[in-house]
């Protein structure tokens, strides 16, 4: 019995090593591809969507910065155009 | 957006083409930044926050030296009329000193021949609501200077907390242009000093603690027109990558990682703001900076490497496109915002090969040295051996080997993580002595406990999601709240420290080195100090009115060498004192770490100028006197 257990353990360990030794915990060195080495920590999901950690972001909120940036770029472009035409900066 | 980007690409392409046509015509464009390079070499001036494009904060002046520094005395002073943290340092160009302040970001020009006289002032009107979205005091890191040409007079360029970048006539203080570069209603502010190279003003971004996706923008100094704008996360077309991006080091990662290393659209509120410093190599026409931390602080809410936050960038100044990017802290779990100073040097590596380098002491406790042409990793050493989130940085793979024991995650309070979120190094602008080949690093010795919590994102509101308790590290005195600073002299090739000294509080404001064999820096408890560049021995100090969080600067006016420094404590370490907070986890965990500060200093705001024996224009008593 003891022998069987040992055998099972040994082969499990061997299997672990042949599979490229997944780390016991995320240490940043097992990469899916160049520049992409993130792993879920033990007990944490690969994807958080639908999990208890789902941030449930609102798409409308996520897009507000982009909208603000575009509006500023447009106003700035008008100011610069006017400046080039008149030689005077009008905010 | 797509159309915008396309338009921009076309414009960039045209600019590049135009540039090469001019080049072929043999008309080496006599650009204004050549003038700026010349001005940098003259010790009469201090024309940019980093002193020069190498950002080495090194002066060849030696009138003040090891032998006579004990005779350094106050020559004159100036109060800015404001409190809160006074970061950065004044600029000096010719006869003028230009002084900036925290919010509302006033600017003063004073005449060095009669510094009691304010030549001009610029006092912006800003929405006071801007204060509410500043994470870490209403600081500002300073002014930039553009030397003028036949079309446009010399300019002082400033940033405002409310998101504006403003170009002022350097002689008169009149507004030349004023552009919007941030919207406080979505949490964007500006604290960074603008940076001038060629005829461009480069400005970064702030607000990763409010989920702001980082961006860097260039404006034409003549017209205020936006030349280019690139982001830290998202599609490659918005990050701005050259076709050859990271070809020299493909293992750093190359294409599509600004979205692939995030789940779904989390990159849209992904942080990566750059509010630190720049360096520039005029020969390579590349500039360098670091992008900040991903948002939120709660790592569990953003699986993935979160590229390209926490990245050292080498970008083409003309197009802004990136030649290389090295991510120091993949999937940040500690707010090690990667924005710190970049110092350029030319040194022989371990194989005896002469290299053009950049050296960068990061928040995460590692000092990175990269080849600044290729991005090759040359060295990555711990600035203090107590850093424990990382076992080491593997120079072959470029990966930090994490110690899972000091990771952070939901449902867990991590303890004794070093460095703290405040970093072993923060925004201080340090120095490099090219003779001694030593970097003089002003360090924090701070560790922390950290526990994340879930929270929603609402544009314009804080998006942090972690409780933090910072405190002095193992080499300090945690019980008594002191011993949280260090000053070290570091060789980037050997990785050795020539000397190491402890400080009572974190050395937040950076350092300045001189050919007089001196290293100057200010302290949070209100001293300016000078140490021996070779031994670290303390040679001089003076008690300032308040703590210092900016760097010293030096200039020579009419044959006299002066050393100047801002005083006025604030910034992240002093938020407890500034905003009257007591909970040790308040102020994003800073309050507990610096509870002793208020027994050493109070708020202030001004500039103190020193010289040997306090020699000043007012030694001539008639200067500035009323005359009938």
> What's the confidence (pLDDT) of residue B33?
65
What is d(CA B317, CA B624) in angstroms, rounded to the nearest whole number?
Answer: 44
Of residues A27, A55, A72, nearest to B404 (C-beta)? A27
Q: Give the nearest partner residue to B180 out of A58, A63, A72, using CB atoms.
A: A72
Asked if B226 lies within 8 A of A49 by C-beta distance, the reply is: no
Q: Residues B210, B220: contact at Cβ < 8 Å?
A: no
Question: The tokens 């709240």 sit on which residue?
Answer: B481
Band of the pLDDT at B627, cuts 50, 70, 90? confident
User: Do the beta carbons of residue B61 and residue B512 sit within 8 Å?
Assistant: no
Burial class (CB in 10 A: 0-12, 13-18, 19+), B168: buried
Judged by CB atoms closer than 8 Å, whether chains meet at B456 and A28 is answered as no
Of the partner residues A25, A55, A59, the one whose CB lies closest to the CB of residue B301: A55
Nearest chain B residue to A56, by CA:
B456
CA distances from B123 to B107, B494, B616 (A): 7, 48, 28
pLDDT band at B568 (very low <50, low <70, confident <90, very high): very high
CB B427 within 8 A of CB B276: yes
The pLDDT tens digits for A46-79 are: 999 999 999 999 999 999 999 999 999 999 999 9
Positive or negative, the Cα torsion across B272, B277, B279, B280?
A: positive
Q: Find how far residue A9's CA is from the centre of its chain.
A: 35
Assign B163 to helix, strand or coil.
coil
Contacts of A77 in chain B (CB under 8 A): 225-226
In chain A, whose CA is at the least distance from the CA of B261?
A: A36
B307-349 pLDDT, tens digit each: 999 999 999 999 999 999 999 999 999 999 999 999 999 999 9
- Tell me which of B316, B332, B335, B376 is the catalytic residue: B335
Tokens 């994470």, located at residue: B135
Answer whether A73 sits within 8 Å of B226, measured CB to CB: yes
C-alpha B258/C-alpha B236 separation (Å) is 7
What is d(CA A5, CA A14) in angstroms, rounded to the nearest whole number?
Answer: 14
From residue B387, give the alpha-carbon distance in Å to each of B362, B425, B589. Answer: 12, 12, 18
* Displacement of CA B149 from its chain's centroid (Å): 28
Query: Which residues of B, range 576-605, sit inside 8 Å of A by Cβ?
Result: none
- Report pLDDT digits (tens) over B267-298: 999 999 999 999 999 999 999 999 999 999 99
Contact residues on chain B for A73, CB-CB shorter than 8 A: 4, 226, 229
Burial B7-25 (b: 16+ CB within 10 A, else e): ebeeebeeeeeeeeeeeee
Q: DSSP letter at A22?
A: -
- C-alpha pair distances (Å), B601 with each of B411, B546, B596: 38, 6, 9
d(CA B151, CA B610) in angstroms, rounded, equals 37
Question: Tens of pLDDT along B489-525?
Answer: 999 999 999 999 999 999 999 999 999 999 999 999 9
Q: What is the CA radius of gyration of chain B?
A: 23
Residues of B in contact with A64 (CB under 8 A): 186, 459-460
Nearest to B550 by CA among B106, B123, B140: B140
Which pair of tokens denotes residue B119? 């030549």
Q: How far is A18 from chain B (nearest CA, A)?
A: 22
- How much is the pTM? 0.93
> Does B213 reach chain A within 8 Å, measured CB to CB?
yes
What is the ipTM, given to two decimal places?
Answer: 0.93
Q: What is the mean pLDDT of residues B83-109?
A: 98
B162 an active-site residue?
no
d(CA B425, CA B573): 12
Residues of chain B with Cβ-Cβ distance to A56 below 8 Å are 456
- Closest residue by Cα to residue B48 from B155, B153, B166: B155
For residue A10, give every residue at least 6 positions away whose Cβ sits within 8 Å of its Cβ, in sequence order, or none.
Answer: none
The whole-angstrom separation of Cα B234 and Cα B213 is: 9
B607: its two tokens: 């500039």
Output the six-digit token pair for B16.
Answer: 């590049």
Of A38, A53, A58, the CB nearest to B305: A38
d(CA B100, CA B536): 31
- What stretches of B352-465 adopt beta strand conformation (E)? 354-361, 366-371, 377-382, 390-393, 400-402, 414-417, 431-433, 438-444, 446-452
Residues of A whose CB is below 8 A from B225: 76-77, 80
3-state secondary structure of B211: coil
- Using CA atoms, how far apart are residues B47 and B31, in angstroms rounded to an integer? 17
The answer to whether A28 contacts B400, with C-beta atoms less than 8 Å apart, is yes
* Binary contact (A68, B1; C-beta < 8 A): no
Residues 230-259 of B with CB under 8 A from A: 250-254, 257
Minimal Cβ distance to A79: which of B224, B264, B397 = B224
Distance from CA of A7 to the nearest CA of B (A): 30
Q: How far is CA B229 from the centre of its chain?
A: 20
Percent helix, strand, coil in chain B, to 5, is: 15, 35, 50
Closest CA to B503 of B431, B572, B586, B440: B440
Rounded to whole angstroms, how far apart are CA atoms B75 and B411? 56
**How far is the alpha carbon of A3 from chain B, nearest alpha carbon, in Å?**
34
Mean pLDDT across B239-255:
98
pLDDT band with cut points at 50, 70 and 90 for residue B10 = very low
Integer Cα distance of B266 and B233 in angstroms: 10
CA distances from B174 to A88, B123, B225, B497 (A): 12, 11, 18, 48
Q: Could you report the per-residue pLDDT of B181-218, keeping only the tens digit for each?
A: 999 999 999 999 999 999 999 999 999 999 999 999 99
Q: Calculate how close chain A gets to B168, using CA atoms only, in Å.
A: 12
Q: Which residues of A touch B330 (CB under 8 A)?
A: 28, 37-38
All residues of chain A having their beta carbon less than 8 Å from the beta carbon of residue B255 are none
């Amino acid at each position: 019995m003891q022998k069987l257990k040992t055998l099972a353990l040994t082969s499990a360990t061997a299997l672990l090593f042949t599979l490229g030794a997944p780390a016991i915990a995320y240490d940043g060195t097992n990469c899916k591809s160049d520049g992409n080495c993130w792993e879920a920590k033990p007990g944490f999901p690969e994807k958080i969507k639908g999990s208890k950690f789902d941030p449930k972001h609102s798409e409308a909120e996520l897009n507000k910065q982009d909208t603000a940036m575009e509006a500023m770029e447009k106003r700035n472009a008008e100011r610069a155009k006017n400046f080039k035409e008149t030689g005077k900066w009008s905010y | 957006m797509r159309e915008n980007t396309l338009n921009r690409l076309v414009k960039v392409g045209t600019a590049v083409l135009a540039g090469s046509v001019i080049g072929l015509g043999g008309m080496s464009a006599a650009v204004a930044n050549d003038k700026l390079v010349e001005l940098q070499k003259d010790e009469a001036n201090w024309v940019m926050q980093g002193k020069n494009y190498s950002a080495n904060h090194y002066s060849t002046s030696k009138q003040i030296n090891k032998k006579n520094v004990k005779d350094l005395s106050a020559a004159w002073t100036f109060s800015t009329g404001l409190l809160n943290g006074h970061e950065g340092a004044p600029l000096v160009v010719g006869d003028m000193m230009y002084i900036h302040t925290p919010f509302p970001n006033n600017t003063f020009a004073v005449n060095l021949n009669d510094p009691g006289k304010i030549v001009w002032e610029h006092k912006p009107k800003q929405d006071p609501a801007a204060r509410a979205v500043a994470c870490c005091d209403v600081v500002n890191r300073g002014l930039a200077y553009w030397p003028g040409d036949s079309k446009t007079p010399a300019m002082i360029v400033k940033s405002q907390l409310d998101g504006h970048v403003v170009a002022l006539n350097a002689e008169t203080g009149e507004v030349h242009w004023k552009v919007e570069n941030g919207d406080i209603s979505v949490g964007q502010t500006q604290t960074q000093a603008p940076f001038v190279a060629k005829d461009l003003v480069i400005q970064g971004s702030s607000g990763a603690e409010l989920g702001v996706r980082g961006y860097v923008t260039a404006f034409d100094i003549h017209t205020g027109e936006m030349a280019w704008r690139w982001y830290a996360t998202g599609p490659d077309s918005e990050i701005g990558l050259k076709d050859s991006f990271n070809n020299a080091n493909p293992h750093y990662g190359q294409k599509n990682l600004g979205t692939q290393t995030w789940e779904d659209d989390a990159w849209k509120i992904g942080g990566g703001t750059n509010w630190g410093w720049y360096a520039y190599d005029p020969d390579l026409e590349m500039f360098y900076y670091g992008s900040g931390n991903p948002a939120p602080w709660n790592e569990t809410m953003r699986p993935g490497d979160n590229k390209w936050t926490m990245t050292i960038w080498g970008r083409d100044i003309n197009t802004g496109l990136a030649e290389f990017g090295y991510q120091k802290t993949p999937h940040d779990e500690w707010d090690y915002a990667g924005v710190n100073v970049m110092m350029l040097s030319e040194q022989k590596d371990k194989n005896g090969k002469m290299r053009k380098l950049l050296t960068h002491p990061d928040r995460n406790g590692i000092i990175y040295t990269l080849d600044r042409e290729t991005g090759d990793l040359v060295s990555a050493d711990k600035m203090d051996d107590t850093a424990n989130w990382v076992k080491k940085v593997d120079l072959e793979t470029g990966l930090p080997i994490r110690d899972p024991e000091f990771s952070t995650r939901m449902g867990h309070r991590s303890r004794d993580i070093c460095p703290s979120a405040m970093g072993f190094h923060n925004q201080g602008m340090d120095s490099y002595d090219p003779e001694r080949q030593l970097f003089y690093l002003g360090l924090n010795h701070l560790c922390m406990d950290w526990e994340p919590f879930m929270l929603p994102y609402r544009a314009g509101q804080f998006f942090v999601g972690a409780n933090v308790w910072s405190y002095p590290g193992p080499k300090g005195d945690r019980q008594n709240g002191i011993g949280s600073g260090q000053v070290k002299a570091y060789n980037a090739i050997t990785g050795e420290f020539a000397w190491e000294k402890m400080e009572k509080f974190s050395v937040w404001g950076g350092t300045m080195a001189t050919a007089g064999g001196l290293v100057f820096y200010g302290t949070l408890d209100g001293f300016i100090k000078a140490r021996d560049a070779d031994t670290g021995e303390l040679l001089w100090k003076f008690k300032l009115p308040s703590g210092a969080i900016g760097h010293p600067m030096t200039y020579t006016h009419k044959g006299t060498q002066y050393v100047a420094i801002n005083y006025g404590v604030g910034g992240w370490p002093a938020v407890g004192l500034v905003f009257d907070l007591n909970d040790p986890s308040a102020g994003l965990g800073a309050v507990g770490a610096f509870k002793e500060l208020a027994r050493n200093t109070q708020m202030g705001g001004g500039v103190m100028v020193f010289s040997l024996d306090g020699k000043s224009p007012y030694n001539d008593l008639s200067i500035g006197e009323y005359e009938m």
